[in-house]
Structure 1
Amino acid sequence: MPSLTLPPVPRYVLPPRPSEELEYADLPIIDFSKGNTPEGRAELASQVRDAMTTQGFFYVINHGYTAAQTQRVFDIADVAFTQVSEEDKSKYEGTMGTTGSFQGYKLKEYFHIDGGVRDQIEMFNINRDVNKREHPEAIRPVLPEIADLAKHCHFDVVHPILRLLAIGLELPEETLVNLHRFDAVGESYVRYMKYFPRSEEDEVKSKNVWLKGHTDIGTITLLYSQPIAALQMLGPDGHWRWVKHIENAIIVNAGDGIEFLSGGFYRATIHRVVQPPVSQRSLNRLGVCYFAMSDDDVKLAPLVDSPVLQRVGIKKHGRFGPDSVAPTMEVWRKGRTSAYGRTELKASEKDEGVEEQTINGVVVKHYN
């Protein structure tokens, strides 16, 4: 009988919440425990549809992991940064700029933020197929647990959300799930990331922004809630608000892929990361994410069979002109990944505080 003893890893101590009174976004909480009946799923689908057509952000609770399991997730995440040498991080550095793939490490100062300031963020990205490439020695003992996390995120969180989104479009429940097969060729991945405090000079030059306002590349992003306030979302009223920490909740947002597939009915969430409030300013911020993307060969064109889209019309032809051909998920992710934080942005002629770049003929906006 196999041993149930988990490999020992150092305990990661979650930091305290901010002591300041912050203006938090009022986001819906989706309780997965209500989704076991058709009536419950219909109720959740209505909540998710409302969230994704307005703010694009919501929380998920009762997602299948206990608080203790989530604590272990953060313990393992910290291993990627505290138990791997700088030499090994460089050895397993990703090839974002040449291959359009985030697999491996993104080291500090890879992204240009603003005013000549480069980022102070480390990332470790690992494909849902954890055996797709080699990993640092410190990571290898916990690979089975990372594989379990990827499967849990994909099957137990992303797929149920995709079913609710399909119901909101009045399509068969498995419509979007069938575009997100776990064993297909694709780039859905777990990301561990650590933000390190910056100098006051860099904060001034970059206007306290650590990652400019942007939309995510894929379809659904999962972010395990943690106490350090830094994530903000741009509301429909044009105002930035903080995203509040809820213990053992997952923060969910829509990416470009869902906006494209829904013809703009569901909106890709505009969000950014800024310097934490004073009470947390000296702390490192550890994050755990799962970035879901459709299969590489999926064309990101509106699902025109949706009765909802037939009634309301295509708000945006996936941001593409009516005469253009929608790219596949592979083409879109490679184009955006290779360009992110590396190409020159131009000020928008229409929108103040917005910078733009063109990828695959599509204008991608960054908000500052």
Structure 2
Amino acid sequence: MPVPVPQLGAFDYVPETKVNLDWADLVTVDLGLYSTPEGKKQLAQTLINAIRNEGFFYVKNFNISQERVNHQFALGKQFYELPLEEKEKYTPEGLDQGRFNGYIPAGRRIINPATGLRDNIEMYNIPKFNGNFPHEHPELIKKNLPEIEEFARALHTEVLDPLFVLLAIALELPEDYLTKIHRYPRKSEDHLRYMKYSKYSLEENKTLDNWGYGHTDLGSFTLLFRQPVAALQIRSHLNNEWKWVKPQDATLTVNACDALQFLTAGYVKSTIHRVTVPPLDQQHVDRLGLLYFSRPHNDIPLATIQESPVLQREGFTKNEFEISGNPVPTMEEWTFAKQKWQRTKGYHGDAKYRNAVILPGFAEKPYV
């Protein structure tokens, strides 16, 4: 049963853009159909088509009320209203070594080399509540931890577990094959994130192509709750064209990530995406994001799943590490190698950092 919700005041979403953008045509996975074998089979096909064609998809009817989502946005908003000195108390040691739980301040990368303009992106990452991670937070977060924990756990039971079951069905694996390597009590680097993109001036935006670089996420699935500032773009697997992602009421936007690409030898592709300059009628507001990042257990090797008849039939039997003959990393090794690369080199636009080797056997690609 959900814990009582403290009063934080209403969270007001900004109006959606009136600009006619080139929106991506994404499918919706309706978990209202999940309760029957026929519904699961239908959803499994919908899911695998979505992540192989576009990589992003919507999820609806996931049994978490909009009130609870709104409350998480209100928490994120109030967190970013705290003084910078208070937030910086929770910046992790070893940030440049790949550590990421806690507060990550803005201004860590230059997004316009010509002017020296730096990013305006702040993040606050809250790890699992399973005894593997310390939970040191400002008072605002601390007094709301029971509800934050309930929310994070609900995302596992109501969204992620069903998605992993559907993907296992699509791969002709036992239904619990993927849920077994994504159990909440086991140590993994899952985290809930409040993320703020502070606005730039109109003059600064005119000098920018994007607020963020093209990239892939490093885990299994990323869950993004609806917020109406249009800025997210994805690169289609079908034609490599960049398309805008339209906010949809009462949905989550979900994308597949690196771990699933490795586990399926590329049958499931990690989705390339970026955050770009919003349309003109939304450039005067900040963009607040609420996300959850799912990852396999830290000790899971990212080797191709050999038990899948689908992967065997289709010839997806070796991933980049296995083809190269280099050691296959565990999820933990991959997490901290890629995070370290991002923090030190990957957030820079310099061409010399493209095609950089993150681990032997895998070079990051230029996603432009």
CA contact (8 A) 1:184 1:295 kept: yes
Per mean C-alpha deviation after superposition, the further-off stretch among 44-53 and 128-137 is 128-137
What is the CA–CA distance in structure 2 between the aligned matches of 1:201 and 1:257, rounded to whole Å?
39
Cα deviation, 1:107-137, whole Å, max 9, x if unaligned, reads 0112343524421011110002286221011
**Amino acid aligned to 1:363:** A
The 3 A distance-change label for structure 1 pair 12 and 320 is farther
**Amino acid aligned to 2:342:** Y
What is the CA–CA distance in structure 2 between the aligned matches of 1:18 and 1:92, rounded to whole Å?
35
Q: Secondary structure at 1:11's aligned position in 2?
A: coil
Aligned to 1:149: 151
Cα deviation, 1:53-76, whole Å, max 9, x if unaligned, reads 111110000011122222222112
Aligned to 2:85: 87
Cα deviation, 1:251-295, whole Å, max 9, x if unaligned, reads 000010010001100010000000100000010001000000100
Q: 1:77: how far off?
A: 1.9
**Amino acid aligned to 1:6:** V
What is the CA–CA distance in structure 2 between the aligned matches of 1:227 and 1:64, rounded to whole Å?
21
Aligned to 2:272: 270
What is the CA–CA distance in structure 1 between the aligned matches of 2:55 and 2:2, rounded to whole Å?
42
What is the CA–CA distance in structure 1 between the aligned matches of 2:272 and 2:310, rounded to whole Å?
24
Per mean C-alpha deviation after superposition, the further-off stretch among 336-345 and 219-228 is 336-345
1:364 aligns with 2:359: no
Aligned to 2:183: 181
Aligned to 2:124: 124
CA contact (8 A) 1:215 1:255 kept: yes
Q: Aligned pair count?
A: 360
Q: 1:338: how far off?
A: 1.6
CA contact (8 A) 2:304 2:317 kept: no
Q: Return the TM-score normalized by structure 1.
A: 0.92
The 3 A distance-change label for structure 1 pair 32 and 281 is same
What is the CA–CA distance in structure 2 between the aligned matches of 1:318 and 1:174, rounded to whole Å?
26
After superposition, residues 12-161 of structure 1 pair within 5 angstroms as 12-82=11-81, 84-95=82-93, 97-115=95-113, 116-129=116-129, 132-161=134-163
What is the CA–CA distance in structure 1 between the aligned matches of 2:32 and 2:85, rounded to whole Å?
45
Q: 1:9: how far off?
A: 1.4
What is the CA–CA distance in structure 2 between the aligned matches of 1:73 and 1:169, rounded to whole Å?
34
What is the CA–CA distance in structure 1 between the aligned matches of 2:333 and 2:122, rounded to whole Å?
25
What is the CA–CA distance in structure 2 between the aligned matches of 1:65 and 1:246, rounded to whole Å?
16
Aligned to 1:351: none
What is the CA–CA distance in structure 2 between the aligned matches of 1:94 and 1:202, rounded to whole Å?
30
Q: 1:33: how far off?
A: 0.5
CA contact (8 A) 1:345 1:356 kept: no
Per mean C-alpha deviation after superposition, the further-off stretch among 338-347 and 147-156 is 338-347
Aligned to 1:213: 214
**Amino acid aligned to 2:54:** Q
The 3 A distance-change label for structure 1 pair 320 and 105 is farther
What is the CA–CA distance in structure 2 between the aligned matches of 1:321 and 1:346, rounded to whole Å?
29
What is the CA–CA distance in structure 1 between the aligned matches of 2:204 and 2:94, rounded to whole Å?
25
Q: RMSD of the alignment, in Å?
A: 2.1
**Amino acid aligned to 2:186:** A
1:163 aligns with 2:162: no
Q: 1:32: how far off?
A: 0.2
The 3 A distance-change label for structure 1 pair 308 and 322 is farther
CA contact (8 A) 2:56 2:254 kept: yes
Q: Secondary structure at 2:364's aligned position in 1?
A: strand
1:255 aligns with 2:257: yes
The 3 A distance-change label for structure 1 pair 321 and 199 is farther
CA contact (8 A) 2:208 2:277 kept: no
- Give 5+ residue unaligned stretches, structure 1: 349-353
Per mean C-alpha deviation after superposition, the further-off stretch among 4-13 and 47-56 is 4-13
What is the CA–CA distance in structure 2 between the aligned matches of 1:77 and 1:155, rounded to whole Å?
23
**Amino acid aligned to 2:351:** A
Q: Secondary structure at 1:340's aligned position in 2?
A: helix
Q: Return the TM-score normalized by structure 2.
A: 0.92
What is the CA–CA distance in structure 2 between the aligned matches of 1:319 and 1:281, rounded to whole Å?
42
The 3 A distance-change label for structure 1 pair 159 and 111 is farther
CA contact (8 A) 1:217 1:255 kept: yes
Q: 1:94: how far off?
A: 2.6
The 3 A distance-change label for structure 1 pair 114 and 3 is closer
Q: 1:347: how far off?
A: 3.3
Q: 1:184: how far off?
A: 1.0
- Give 5+ residue unaligned stretches, structure 2: none
1:11 aligns with 2:13: no
After superposition, residues 283-322 of structure 1 pair within 5 angstroms as 283-314=285-316, 317-318=319-320, 321-322=323-324
CA contact (8 A) 1:123 1:192 kept: yes
Q: Secondary structure at 1:51's aligned position in 2?
A: helix
**Amino acid aligned to 1:102:** F
